[in-house]
A = this chain, B = another copy of it.
Amino acid sequence: MQIDDIDSPSVLIDLDVMERNLRRWQAHCDAAGIVNRPHIKTHKIPELAGLQLSLGAKGITCQKLGEAEVMADAGIDDILITFNLLGAAKLARAVALARRIRLSVVCDNDVVADGLSAAFAAAGLRLDVLVELDTGAGRNGMQTPAETVAFIERLSNRPGIRFAGLMTYPPKGDAPRARAFLAETVALLRAKGLDPAVVSSGGTPDMWQASRDGGITEYRVGTYIYNDRLTMAAGAAKLEDCALTVLATVVSRPTEGRAILDCGSKSLAADPLGPGLGHGHIREYPDAVIVKLNEEHATVDVSACAAKPAVGERVRIIPNHACVVSNLHDLVYGLRGAEVEKQFPIAARGLTR
């Protein structure tokens, strides 16, 4: 099967580029002396998680139990879930998962800690729990090093769970702030004899600066496998590092300056890049701007293009955000040049729980 045999819209992966991305990041982690624990949310494909592990990753990161269950079913046995787990249904699933793989989770409050403790103590297990810090991203997490230490002191006395370390998703472009928060927390914990075994940071924008500074022992990054316009905007990748494209067809040219593609927000996702920057980079028409997405239509301003696309022409688009594209499709086509080497079902697509 060749690329010309694929109908649009479809998601294509350039396997050469993808493999280069994986190797380059693993080499960075190895040189920096940090553990690579890639986040599978970008691809949601067990076989690609297996490739990441075979190249040197120690384990993987999932955001939801459902994703972790799919990955465990495929034989992956070291998974960190970076999300607070709450409620009887999820706790029962977490216990079942911990019986078959090395599971660790995060936590940032007593309600979640109490639930984990009760469920795992009742099962006769001890679960590794990392405490989440809000080092500036403004999402989940402890607000100060002092608050963190007090929480960990309470956590350490609970049955069924074991304090395993610290975890943060740092603010984009402000890694020094995150490192200072981590370093201060680590120092306070050590003074109390509560040395964190793992200090896990992450995030694509500052990935190439990742090091052991701040006491960091491992790093989680997802988008690096494919890269996208957001990764490029952060300076973490170049155009030639983008492995994922959406194949689309020009279906209408209603005016001289307007083209309509058959890939709307159902194919490209609507995550914005910034005002005026549009919804994707059309490789064949770099001066075109995807000004609007409906669910099935992309409206493209082609007025700045010297040559303009014709109805029926096919193009390849680098999306703003690759991870959300993976969640919309049931499979991707893995290309070696123009040849389809393999089709990968996106087995962990749409697992919201």
Contacts and interface: CB of A to CB of B under 8 A. Distances in A.
Contacts of A295: 41, 63, 323-324, 327
B63 A112 contact: no
Contact of A83 (B109, B253, B262, B329): B262
Interface stretch (A136-144, A158-166, A212-220): A136-144
Contacts of A308: none
A188 to B, nearest CB: 19
A252 B84 contact: yes
A281 interface: no
Nearest to A85: B251
A87 interface: yes
Of all A-B residue pairs in the complex, the 3 with the closest CB atoms, nearest first, are A111-B311, A84-B251, A7-B89
Interface stretch (A72-80, A193-201, A266-274): A266-274
Given A83-B262, A109-B253, A265-B324, 10 more contacts: A8-B87, A8-B353, A83-B296, A86-B251, A87-B312, A139-B294, A141-B254, A269-B270, A270-B271, A328-B350
Nearest to A140: B252
- How many chain A residues sit at the interface, stated as a range, is 35 or more
Contact of A311 (B86, B90, B134, B265): B86
A326 to B, nearest CB: 10
Interface in A311-332: 311-312, 323-324, 327-330
A270 B271 CA distance: 7
A266 B350 contact: yes
A9 interface: yes
A251 B260 CA distance: 41
A25 B17 CA distance: 52
A139 B300 CA distance: 9
B260 A140 contact: yes
Contacts of A292: 138
Contacts of A270: 269-271, 324
